[in-house]
Amino acid sequence: MDYIYQVRLTTHISSAIGSLTHALLQNARCYSVSHLSVQERIEQKRKAALTGGGQLRIAAQHKRGKLTARERLELLLDPDSFVEYDMFVEHRCSDFGMEADHNKYPGDSVVTGQGRINGRLVYVFSQDFTVFGGSLSGAHAQKICKIMDQAMMVGAPVIGLNDSGGARIQEGVESLAGYADIFLRNVMASGVVPQISLIMGPCAGGAVYSPALTDFTFMVKDTSYLFITGPDVVKSVTNEDVTQEELGGAKTHTTVSGVAHRAFENDIDALLNLRNFFNFLPLSNKDPAPVTECHDPRDRLVPGLDTIVPFESTKAYDMLDIVHGIVDEREFFEIMPNYAKNIVVGFARMNGRTVGIVGNQPKVASGCLDINSSVKGARFVRFCDAFNIPIITFVDVPGFLPGTAQEYGGIIRHGAKLLYAFAEATVPKITVITRKAYGGAYDVMSSKHLRGDVNYAWPSAEVAVMGAKGAVQIIFRGKENQAEAEAEYVEKFANPFPAAVRGFVDDIIQPSTTRKRICRDLEVLASKKQTNPWKKHANIPL
Amino acid sequence: MAAYRSAAGFQRVLHAVKHVCFSKQRCGVIICRYSTVYDPTEKTFDKILIANRGEIACRVIKTCKKMGIKTVAVHSDVDSSAVHVKMADEAVCVGPAPTNKSYLNMDAIMNAIKQTGAQAVHPGYGFLSENKQFAKRLAAEGVSFIGPDTHAIQAMGDKIESKLIAKAAKVNTIPGFDGVVKDAEEAVKIAGEIGYPVMIKASAGGGGKGMRIAWNDEETREGFRFSSQEAASSFGDDRLLIEKFIDNPRHIEIQVLADKHGNALWLNERECSIQRRNQKVVEEAPSTFLDPDTRRAMGEQAVSLAKAVKYSSAGTVEFLVDSKKNFYFLEMNTRLQVEHPITECITGLDLVQQMIRIAMGYKLQHKQSDIPINGWAIESRVYAEDPYKSFGLPSIGRLSQYQEPLDLRNVRVDSGIEEGSDISIYYDPMISKLVTYGKTREEALKKMEEALDNYVIRGVTHNIPLLREIIVHPRFVSGDISTKFLPEVYPDGFKGHMLTAGERRELLATAAALYVAAQLRSQKFLGDLRVSVVPAESRQWELCVELDKGVHMLGVSRSGNNYTVEIDGEKVEVSGEWNLASALLPLTINGKHRTLQCLLRTAAGEITLQYLGTSFKLRVLSKLAASLSKHMPEKVPEDTSSILRSPMPGSVVAVSVKPGDNVAEGQEICVIEAMKMQNSMTAAKAAKVSSLTHIHKLIHNPPRYSVHHKSI
């Protein structure tokens, strides 16, 4: 602390002396003296920038169980790969004493630049909570905008590490303008380069909309919060007692609201996982899905899949068992694992190539589609489509969830999102019907009719308008011998043939061969070219 | 409707089966050192029904196929895609999952026999194998029972009667009470007369079920209660008997083979002393303990007992052998034993084939002098159970990955499961019998180490850690064993392999090398790249590896696939293929060949390695990440002191408390039955029972049964 204080003090004095000297000797053009002092000032500014808000605040940050902005970048990026921008930028506020030198920090409250993750280029910003609580000044926003603009031009993803108390209140509208500048760039970059937000501290008020606009929002458990208004305001406005954690903690957003896509134990865990996640993504929409070295044989048979679907069609099984069995090395990066668990989405690799996996989860709510699962699935499918990631869909869906809660909530328009997303997607689409594909949900789940490239059925597949019991009650309303009719319906429809004879599935495959088939198809479909009609933009039912 | 659905489902299986090609792995049995000498001119059955499931059903089918006999499998509905069903030529569903509705359902099995026209039934072990009613019903229908006749089953199946017959046949027997014990109080009285310790066991029992040892009056009462309950549920017969418990004995059994013409042979012994809860874990043949004279004496007594009951078929006479090589008759098992493969390994006989021949009425092919002891065979029973809890409490789950070490020579694996199979609460949790063979015991044991290291089981907790420790334990290796081996060697329970300093370094070095190999691979992107990849150039890594709360700084350097890891000034060389997709990690560590398994590898540096059988959790971090770790908040684990968790999935068979009761610490709350074993659940602290609303009939994995009780 003493050291820092001294540094700041010296900076102070030397800068004062520096400007004096500069003014006095401007006409004398005494190059040697001014050169020396500039060199010194550079060093001192750099030193100051590296310690952010000072050792005291760093200690406080550590005490909260959080790392500093720079420590986080060091962990996130490959060693020695970080190239910093705007280390000398300072805020420009002159109100409320902010113009005082001790209120100026080189670099202000954010660290920006570019670096490498496993050798691949990425643009990053990391908000520094030790400087004015990481609050967003005009300069702070400008720094973020600069790297975002460059990321767009170069075609590389942007990762934001958020740890900010909110707007720099002293700056007023300039801070708000800064937010809007970032929001605009988030929107412009959407679908051009992947954008990832990792919330590592508070993120409140208008600030939340930047993460909300990015492709993925991850959180750190217990130390990060996302909310429009904090517990105090909530209490005064609605008289509702709620803690920060309940209102906007990682658990809330990964299980209830669906705002965050995943939560990690702590800063280190989060950053290491983010490095791993980054490897799944292409750098931009101009790049194909990345292919990494793979040790898992592409033609590996998965014998366990032949027995995974239970014979009782009412019995559940875990769709994740199928996913883990089929993908490379059983590695599946699940997105939103604790939200709308009746659908499973996430990234995996097939023969080294990134794929997006969508699967109904029979273990939860029979794998039905409801509002939350439709929205979860739709957003994931659109991300994959935007970034050239092939989509593999595993279907076991009994239909859309009926009831007033769903109808009042707008299942019609929300369900339409998933339908829309699958229909508009032009990336390779491979679908495997493992068991039930009933009703409208059959159409929705990447069916042949929505331009599925390869659609398979397992021998256990049942493609029908509805289950036998319901169907018979309608067809033979009030008639006797319902059991017999039901048997006939099962015989006719509870198998893959009705769909196969019409070409709605391309083949009926032995489950154990699924990996082999998909790997082969992906090779072929790698050169798939498909475009949608020109339009300014489509109108997805939001 | 339900019936129709399952029938339709079954059609689907049959359809699917046609497309399945049976590889060696699927069948699960590799014949190791026994031969089915099949004489095609010798007439045999056309079709045999196997009234069993799992590995033993597969084992029987295997021999039937060689002998050209068609096979019929029976199965419960949850077993409809089980391996034995796929292997058999025909399969019949005999009922729902619970054994008393399917595999013990005589009516359904009799129907299956009629329906398929099977001429004979092989009962395997357990289930109906020693059920005289079943044998009678088969006889009434003119169907051959591949086993002894009803008289022998009845005589030997009843422990009281069998003891009397044994005595008459001049077989050494244990002192005890030769009658049925009426109640707990009579049990205490008799126990007092014989003298403690005593053994309380089910008259109809076998396999350690319904068996309790008591050292005092209280334990006798409790043991009586448990044994009669278990006996009732396992055998439908709650008669109990009591005898002197021979402390610290060996359990050695003699395999006999007898035909219907009065000929009988003894096929040497099996040493089965390594047991937990009276169930065998590791068996071997021959025994290190027997000298030729004792062996012959035991063999001759076994044969004389077999002849005394006019025994035919394969059978086993179990003896307790004390430290002075006195042996006492324990019981005779009138069926094929679980551990029969080790006898097959050293004698070269196919016991199933012999049983089938005998059932056809043929005379024995061999004379006593033809029976050799060739080499040494060890069998490890691989169970789906947690060895860290009472040497093994059942666990359930789906075998997400499963790979038997069949590419090793002299290894035989008898199993009835495959990748994707479910280990359910309904049946025995045995995964397989892993048998290794060698010219000498040492060779067989070495092979067993290798086989256990190369055995891949994922998705269920298994007992390989325990098996791997037993076979290398100095006492076991020297042959100094008894039935109390496990509690004596691990008085505080099994804790896994204890690493030596050198082994610890090997493990740390492997984790570090694996970490670096994975890191390097994650920088390898293929194809044309618009933006070039600039991998971090490094030949040196400084890593921090955590293991059991110990933190080690390691220096790693690499050249090709070889890693040199420096730990506390010592160098460890690790090299291998580093195939990160493979379940097995064959490595050379400081010149020694070792096979490890990587069970988990996460982005956050967690690595779980199975090393020397035991799985170890490690965490590998860069020096930077490790130095920053100190700032990470400690997460407080959930307080579970007021939650009573079932140690395994099972069903609640009795609840011993009611709302309002005050329970003392250690008092029984309820009894959980799983895999036919009853386990008393006791309170962890004194409390008052507020309600019992959370008790469900069945407990599935993860165990979530909980009784909440408030502290007083």
- SS3 per-residue string spanning A164-208: CCCECHHHCHHHHHHHHHHHHHHHHHCCCCCEEEEECCEEEHHHH
Is the predicted pLDDT of residue B10 greater than 70, yes or no?
Answer: no
Contact assessment for residue A255 and residue A336, using Cβ atoms and an 8 Å cutoff? no
Contact assessment for residue B60 and residue B335, using Cβ atoms and an 8 Å cutoff? no
Span B237-295, pLDDT tens digits: 778 888 888 878 899 999 999 999 999 999 999 999 999 888 899 999 999 999 999 99
Is the predicted pLDDT of residue A15 greater than 80, yes or no?
Answer: no
Separation of alpha carbons A314 and A253, rounded Å: 32
Query: Of B68, B76, B70, B69, which Cα lies nearest the Cα of B92?
Result: B76
Chain B residue numbers with beta carbons less than 8 Å from the beta carbon of A312 are: 2, 5-6, 9
Alpha helices in B490-545 (DSSP H): 501-521
Percentage of the residues of chain B whose pLDDT score is greater than 70: 87
Please check whether residue A466 touches B, CB under 8 A.
no
Separation of alpha carbons A94 and A107, rounded Å: 17
Measure in Å the smallest separation between the Cα of A100 and chain B Cα atoms. Answer: 32
Contact assessment for residue B359 and residue B144, using Cβ atoms and an 8 Å cutoff? yes
State mean pLDDT over B41-52: 93
Best residue of A306, A324, A484, A489 to probe chain B, by most B CBs closer than 10 Å: A306
Count of Cβ atoms closer than 10 Å to residue A501 Cβ: 9
Count of Cβ atoms closer than 10 Å to residue B190 Cβ: 20
Q: Is B400 in Cβ contact with A304 (below 8 Å)?
A: yes
Residue B676: exposure state from Cβ atoms within 10 A (0-12, 13-18, ≥19): buried
Q: Fill in the DSSP letter of residue B617.
A: E
pLDDT band at A1 (very low <50, low <70, confident <90, very high): very low
Task: Read off the amino acid at residue B174.
Answer: I
pLDDT band at B676 (very low <50, low <70, confident <90, very high): low
Length of chain A: 542
Separation of alpha carbons A289 and B290, rounded Å: 67
What's the pLDDT score for residue B246? 82
Handedness of CA B329, B335, B341, B344 (dihedral sign): positive
Q: Is A79 in Cβ contact with B419 (below 8 Å)?
A: no
Chain A residue numbers with beta carbons less than 8 Å from the beta carbon of B525 are: 119-120, 290-292
Residues near B407 by Cβ (< 8 Å), separated by ≥ 6?
Answer: none
Which tokens hold the place of A454?
A: 């390869």
Is the predicted pLDDT of residue B471 greater than 90, yes or no?
Answer: yes
Lowest model confidence (mean pLDDT) among A463-467, B117-121, B333-337, B637-641 = B637-641
* Reported ipTM: 0.90
Which tokens hold the place of B220?
A: 């006798």
Residues near A474 by Cβ (< 8 Å), separated by ≥ 6?
Answer: none
Best residue of B417, B419, B456, B629 to probe chain A, by most A CBs closer than 10 Å: B419
Closest chain A residue to B83, measured at CA: A307
Q: Fill in the DSSP letter of residue A477.
A: T
What's the pLDDT score for residue A12? 41
Lowest model confidence (mean pLDDT) among A7-11, B518-522, B630-634 = A7-11
Handedness of CA A450, A456, A461, A463 (dihedral sign): positive
What's the pLDDT score for residue B703? 38
What's the pLDDT score for residue B679? 67
Handedness of CA A32, A34, A35, A36 (dihedral sign): positive
Q: Is B526 in Cβ contact with A352 (below 8 Å)?
A: yes
Query: Of B591, B600, B585, which Cα lies nearest the Cα of B453?
Result: B585
Residue B316 φ/ψ region, left for φ over 0, alpha for ψ in the -120 to 50 degree band, beta for the rest: beta
Span A194-213, pLDDT tens digits: 999 999 999 988 899 999 99
pLDDT band at B618 (very low <50, low <70, confident <90, very high): very high
Is the predicted pLDDT of residue A28 greater than 50, yes or no?
Answer: no
Is the predicted pLDDT of residue B641 greater than 80, yes or no?
Answer: no
Please check whether residue A50 touches B, CB under 8 A.
no
Span A114-141, pLDDT tens digits: 999 999 999 999 999 999 999 999 999 9
Handedness of CA B485, B489, B491, B496 (dihedral sign): negative
In the residue annotation, B458 being an active-site residue is answered as no
Residue B581 has its nearest CB partner, among A121, A276, A328, at A328
Alpha helices in A51-108 (DSSP H): 55-63, 69-76
How many CA atoms does the CB half-sphere of A108 hold within 13 Å? 24
Residue B595 φ/ψ region, left for φ over 0, alpha for ψ in the -120 to 50 degree band, beta for the rest: beta
Residue B699 pairs in a beta bridge with B650
pLDDT band at A179 (very low <50, low <70, confident <90, very high): very high
Measure in Å the smallest separation between the Cα of B155 and chain A Cα atoms. Answer: 43
Residues near B218 by Cβ (< 8 Å), separated by ≥ 6?
Answer: none
Please check whether residue A311 touches B, CB under 8 A.
yes
Q: Which of A155, A191, A206, A230 is catalytic?
A: A206
Residues near B285 by Cβ (< 8 Å), separated by ≥ 6?
Answer: B268, B269, B270, B271, B342, B343, B345, B346, B373, B376, B377
Separation of alpha carbons A375 and A415, rounded Å: 7
Query: Which H, E and C letters describe B323-369, residue by residue?
Result: CCCCEEEEEEECCCCCCHHHHHHHHCCCHHHHHHHHHHCCCCCCCHH
pLDDT mean across residues, chain A: 91
Handedness of CA A341, A342, A347, A348 (dihedral sign): positive
In the residue annotation, A440 being an active-site residue is answered as yes
Chain A residue numbers with beta carbons less than 8 Å from the beta carbon of B399 are: 304
Residues near A366 by Cβ (< 8 Å), separated by ≥ 6?
Answer: A316, A342, A398
Alpha helices in B436-500 (DSSP H): 441-453, 464-470, 474-477, 485-489
Which of residues A93 and B681 earns the better pLDDT score?
A93
Which of residues A98 and A217 earns the better pLDDT score?
A217
For the ranges B108-112, B164-168, B369-373, the maximum mean pLDDT occurs at B108-112
Separation of alpha carbons B573 and B563, rounded Å: 6
Chain B residue numbers with beta carbons less than 8 Å from the beta carbon of A328 are: 581
Which tokens hold the place of B665?
A: 């610490």
Separation of alpha carbons A202 and A127, rounded Å: 11
Contact assessment for residue B228 and residue B181, using Cβ atoms and an 8 Å cutoff? no
What's the pLDDT score for residue A34? 53
Count of Cβ atoms closer than 10 Å to residue B551 Cβ: 12
pTM equals 0.85
Contact assessment for residue B407 and residue B587, using Cβ atoms and an 8 Å cutoff? no
Separation of alpha carbons A402 and B557, rounded Å: 61
Contact assessment for residue A131 and residue A53, using Cβ atoms and an 8 Å cutoff? yes
Contact assessment for residue B433 and residue B423, using Cβ atoms and an 8 Å cutoff? no
Chain B residue numbers with beta carbons less than 8 Å from the beta carbon of A513 are: none
What's the pLDDT score for residue A36? 65
Residue A78 has its nearest CB partner, among B420, B536, B621, at B536
Q: Which of B276, B335, B468, B619 is catalytic?
A: B335
Residue B317 φ/ψ, nearest 5 degrees: -105, 115
Chain B residue numbers with beta carbons less than 8 Å from the beta carbon of A319 are: none
Q: Which of A48, A49, A441, A464 is catalytic?
A: A441
How many CA atoms does the CB half-sphere of A515 hold within 13 Å? 26
In the numeric block, the tokens 């205490």 are attached to: B188
Is the predicted pLDDT of residue B223 greater than 90, yes or no?
Answer: no
Query: Of B241, B219, B229, which Cα lies nearest the Cα of B656?
Result: B229
Q: Is B6 in Cβ contact with A119 (below 8 Å)?
A: no
Q: What is the DSSP string of B208-220?
A: TTTEEEESSHHHH
Lowest model confidence (mean pLDDT) among A255-264, A293-302, A392-401, B273-282 = B273-282
What's the pLDDT score for residue A492? 83
Span B376-427, pLDDT tens digits: 999 999 999 999 988 888 888 999 999 999 999 999 999 999 999 999 888 9
Element (H, E) at A267: helix A267-278
Separation of alpha carbons A448 and B628, rounded Å: 51
Separation of alpha carbons A305 and B213, rounded Å: 45
In the residue annotation, A138 being an active-site residue is answered as no
pLDDT band at B4 (very low <50, low <70, confident <90, very high): very low
Handedness of CA B646, B651, B655, B658 (dihedral sign): positive
Is the predicted pLDDT of residue A25 greater than 60, yes or no?
Answer: no
Separation of alpha carbons B47 and B38, rounded Å: 16
What's the pLDDT score for residue B705? 40
Rg (CA), chain A: 28
State mean pLDDT over B568-590: 95
Chain A residue numbers with beta carbons less than 8 Å from the beta carbon of B20 are: 306, 510
Is the predicted pLDDT of residue A22 greater than 70, yes or no?
Answer: no
Q: What is the DSSP string of A197-259?
A: EEE-SEEEGGGGHHHHHSSEEEEETTT-EEESS-HHHHHHHH-----HHHHHSHHIIIIIS--
Query: Of B504, B518, B598, which Cα lies nearest the Cα of B554?
Result: B504
Chain center to CA of B620: 34
Contact assessment for residue A200 and residue A217, using Cβ atoms and an 8 Å cutoff? no
Task: Read off the amino acid at residue A484.
Answer: E
pLDDT band at B675 (very low <50, low <70, confident <90, very high): low
